[in-house]
Amino acid sequence: MNPETRKMLQVQINDMAICDSVFTTLMGEEVEARHDFIEENAKYVLNIDF
């Protein structure tokens, strides 16, 4: 990433259990769980092209 144009934001985790669950769903080996998560939450995306 180009240091001149990148944008870095600090993330603060308030609920580690929820964070762990979402991370496991999105990065884990279970494809069906990831697919289901994306299908259920795609409607909340406002801008997919950052």
Express the helix, strand and coil content of the chain in percent, nearest 5 each. 50, 0, 50
> How far apart are alpha carbons 2 and 30 in whole angstroms?
33
* pTM for this predicted structure: 0.60
Distance of alpha carbon 2 from the chain centroid: 22
Q: pLDDT (tens digit, 9 = 90+) per residue, 26-39? A: 999 999 999 999 99
In sequence order, which ranges of the chain are alpha helices (DSSP H)?
16-27, 31-41
User: Residue 17: what pLDDT?
Assistant: 97
Q: How far is residue 5's CA from residue 30's CA, in Å, rounded to a whole number?
A: 35
Tens-digit pLDDT profile for residues 3-28: 999 999 999 999 999 999 999 999 99
Domain boundaries, the chain: 13-45
